[in-house]
Each structure stands twice: as C-alpha cells, then as structure tokens.
Amino acid sequence: MRSGSVGERSSGPFLPSGARRYVLDSNALVGLFEDRAVIAEKVEQLLRDALLRELPLLMSAVNWGDVFYTEWRYRGEAKARDAEVKVRELPIAFIGVDQDRATRAAALQQKHNLGYADAFAAELAIERGAWLVTADPEFSRVGKTLSLYPLPRHEK
C-alpha cells in the first residue's frame, strides 16, 4: 500500500472491527527518519501494523511540510529530499487542508495555545477519532477530546 499524494485518501467510512486509527505528529516522523531509538521503534511498529491491517496512518499535509522543513534545516536539503522519497513508500495517507479544517485547527490553536502545525495534527486526530502519535507534551492541554499515543521526548 502506498500513499504519497497530498490529498484525502482513506479506507472508507467504516473501519474493521476493533481497528484503531493513528495520526502522526511531525516529531513522530522526524524521530523515524533520524532513527531516534524508542521513537523509531514505536513508529516502525505502527507502520507494520498499518500494512497488515491495510489501514494507513494519517498525517496532515501541514505536518508533512513541518517534517520536510525540519529535515532540511537540521540535516540539509539532501536529507529532506531523501525523506520525501522514503515517505512515499510508507503506509501514510496525507490529508489536505481546506478552509473548514484550517478554521477548526486555528480554533484549537487559540483555545489551547498550540503551535501552528500542532493544531493541524490535533484537529485531524479529533476529527477522525484517532490517536495522536507524538512526543510533544503540549497536546495534554487539549484534554480528553484528544487521545494521545505518547512517544518519549527527544533530548537534544
């Protein structure tokens, strides 16, 4: 299963019984690409499960942009381009942004003092009833409307 285009691609409105959806925050994918021990292991397991279940992980196109930017800024353009090629081979569906999604994300950003890209990750997870895969503790501010799949913080 492949997903590389920035658009809404999902397995349909009905999930297999007991299936859990996951949304990747930017730091989950950065942790994978930078091979950060525990983060990479957990994200790799989620990717394997997504392949087995034929149910891709989800990520906002805004968060993908944040990953690409982070890779370029800290590891150089070549590593960012490598990440772009690699992500096309992963079972991740990139969800585009329209005015309604942007408005909902902006409301979360304002209400919970989230970063811009973080608001899109939270909005997508809430809208899809999915677990947000993240190492960022700021998401706990959102409360019970957002289910978190916590990853360990990366110490620089």
Structure confidence by residue, pLDDT tens digits, 96-107: 999 999 999 999
* DSSP codes of every residue in the chain: ----SBS---S-S-PPTT---EEE-HHHHHHHHTT-HHHHHHHHHHHHHHHHHT--EEEEHHHHHHHHHHHHHHH-HHHHHHHHHHHTTSSEEEE---HHHHHHHHHHHHHHT--HHHHHHHHHHHHHT-EEEES-GGGGGG-TTSEEEE-PPPP-
Residue 5 banded pLDDT, cuts 50, 70, 90: very low
pTM: 0.86
Report the alpha-carbon distance of residue 132 to residue 125 in Å, rounded: 6
Residue 17 binned pLDDT confidence (cut-offs 50, 70, 90) = low
Apex 5 CA angle, 137 and 153, nearest 5? 15
For residues 104 and 125, is the Cβ–Cβ distance under 8 A?
A: no
Quick: pLDDT tens for 48-104.
999 999 999 999 999 999 999 999 999 999 999 999 999 999 999 999 999 999 999
Q: What domains appear along the chain, each with residue ranges and CATH number?
A: 22-149 (3.40.50.1010)
Rounded distance, CA 117 to CA 64, Å? 9
Report which of 71, 62, 70, 68 is spatially closest to residue 97, judged by C-alpha positions.
Answer: 62
The tokens for 141 are: 């501010």
- Grade residue 19 by pLDDT with cuts at 50, 70 and 90: confident
